[in-house]
Structure 1
Amino acid sequence: MTTHARRASVPRHIPAGASTSGDGIVVGAGPVTIDVFVDFLCPFCRRFEETAGPTLHAMVNGGLATVVYHPMAFLDELSADAYSSRASASSGCASDGGAFVEYAEALFANQPPEGGPGLTDDELAEIGRLVGLDGPAFGRCVHAHAYLDWAAYVTAMAMERGVSGTPTVLVEDVPVPANLRTITAAVAAAAR
């Protein structure tokens, strides 16, 4: 059996709020599922979050959709310190604290440039504090890299699903262009 055919092994620790398969963080409980694959170092993902994020959150808050975020560690080679993996892992810590969406938005707002060092673990922990994750558990989780194996699992599972770049969006498991108009139309069609 080739390594490509081998299934990613489920990590021992999966964040609170994870999907049944453990490879994403579930936000909302609407009837239409939107899978969003992002990397916190990806500038296109930041742009996607800035433009589509408010509408996705409105769909969740309006009970129209469930959004499953898959924070990938796709761009580790574009940082000096495996930033994509560390940021993905820290988002798992934020999910444990009930603030995944707020933390993800803050990570994009504070996104370091590709090609250099990413944010330090102290900076990742501070971003959490700024979004309300001010207890000691979040900082310990970030500094311990508690979800690094989960970040690798999310990435491997995404690649098994055919995700080859970020951002990637699926509506009811059907790939759609990562733009607001197409996503909105696909959600409306799936809701009929």
Structure 2
Amino acid sequence: MSKGNRDRERSAAKRIVEQQKAAERRRAVTIWTSVAVVGVLLIAGLIGWGVLSRQESNDASTLTTPSVAVDDGTAFAVGTGPVTVDLYEDFMCPICHQFEIAADATIDQLVADKKITVRYHPVAILDRASNGTEFSTRSAGAAAAAAVGGKFSEFHKVMYDNQPEENSDGLSNAKIIELGKSVGLGDDFATAVNDKTYTAWATKVTETFSTRGYTGTPTIVVAGKQLQGTGGTIPTAAQLSEAVTAAAG
């Protein structure tokens, strides 16, 4: 073989070796880049998980369930009768007020006769109707504070007696506190209202209301069955009494 041929073969072999080394370097870079990306994603995931965990922990820490609440901490019971009547109401809801006016005396009598236990669920679905003041949430939270203070029924009545119009600013915290004082609630109640102690709770009650398949207020449930009037209207006091009698057997 001539010297020229040998030189050409050595050059070709050298190029092949260099190409192989270059390919190895590219593979190494790709591998380590992939490792780095996976590492970054893992770290990001751990950071995100940590942040989410802290947020959930913080959210949980802000949820104060009233000590006297029943039905998974979502309602306040009045009466000791065998038939359970669940009332889901929003303090901004004018139809709720109409139902209270129509059925209040009947409900009070059924409670006095020990025929029913009423579980009041203050929900907040009408915050949009109070010009950004979140009156529904604030009033539901105030009802919780009133219940803890042993004055739920009294506060419930006085709030409906002073119900603001839909699409108004609602009642101020100062007015809510004034109404609370008028039924015997004191400084603890005022502090809970101003500090928004039960705001997260009001949100939980509203979410529970939704998960149970209810969409509007008032919603009246007798012995686990939703009660409606003719054509899906709000039931009358007479219809409520009939449903209680039927449920009692």
- The answer to whether the superposition gives a TM-score over 0.5 is yes
| Aligned partners of 2:75 and 2:122 also within 8 Å | yes
Structure 1 unaligned blocks of 5 or more: 1-8
Q: What's the TM-score, normalizing by structure 2?
A: 0.71
RMSD: 1.4
Over 2 Å off, 4+ runs? 9-12
Which of 142, 147, 159 is matched with 2:210 structurally? 159
Partner amino acid, structure 1, of 2:242: A
- Report the counterpart of residue 191 of structure 1 in structure 2: 248
SS at structure 2 position matched to 1:98: coil
Alignment partners' CA distance in 2, 1:20 and 1:48 = 22
| Aligned partners of 1:52 and 1:180 also within 8 Å | yes
Partner amino acid, structure 1, of 2:240: I
Which of 122, 125, 148 is matched with 1:74 structurally? 125
SS at structure 1 position matched to 2:171: coil
Alignment partners' CA distance in 1, 2:238 and 2:197 = 37
Does residue 92 of structure 1 match 2:92? no
- Report the counterpart of residue 108 of structure 2 in structure 1: 57
Deviation sequence 1:56-112 (CA, Å, 0-9, x none): 121112110000001110100011200000000000000011111110111111111
Deviation sequence 1:162-181 (CA, Å, 0-9, x none): 11101110001101123212
Which of 160, 182, 186 is matched with 2:239 structurally? 182
**Residues paired across the two proteins, number:** 183
Alignment partners' CA distance in 2, 1:97 and 1:54 = 24
- Report the counterpart of residue 157 of structure 2 in structure 1: 105
SS at structure 1 position matched to 2:119: strand
Alignment partners' CA distance in 2, 1:12 and 1:145 = 10
Does residue 120 of structure 1 match 2:172? yes
**Identity among equivalent pairs (%):** 37
| Aligned partners of 1:89 and 1:145 also within 8 Å | yes
Alignment partners' CA distance in 2, 1:12 and 1:151 = 9
Partner amino acid, structure 2, of 1:96: V
Query: CA shift at 1:122, angstroms?
Result: 0.5
Does residue 33 of structure 1 match 2:84? yes
Which of 13, 30, 43 is matched with 2:64 structurally? 13
Partner amino acid, structure 2, of 1:66: T
**Larger radius of gyration between Structure 1 and Structure 2:** 2
Alignment partners' CA distance in 2, 1:121 and 1:158 = 25
Query: CA shift at 1:18, angstroms?
Result: 1.0
SS at structure 2 position matched to 1:156: helix
- Report the counterpart of residue 22 of structure 1 in structure 2: 73
Structure 2 unaligned blocks of 5 or more: 1-59, 229-234
Alignment partners' CA distance in 2, 1:185 and 1:131 = 32
Partner amino acid, structure 1, of 2:155: Y
Q: Which has the higher helix share?
A: 2
Q: What's the TM-score, normalizing by structure 1?
A: 0.91
| Aligned partners of 1:10 and 1:153 also within 8 Å | no
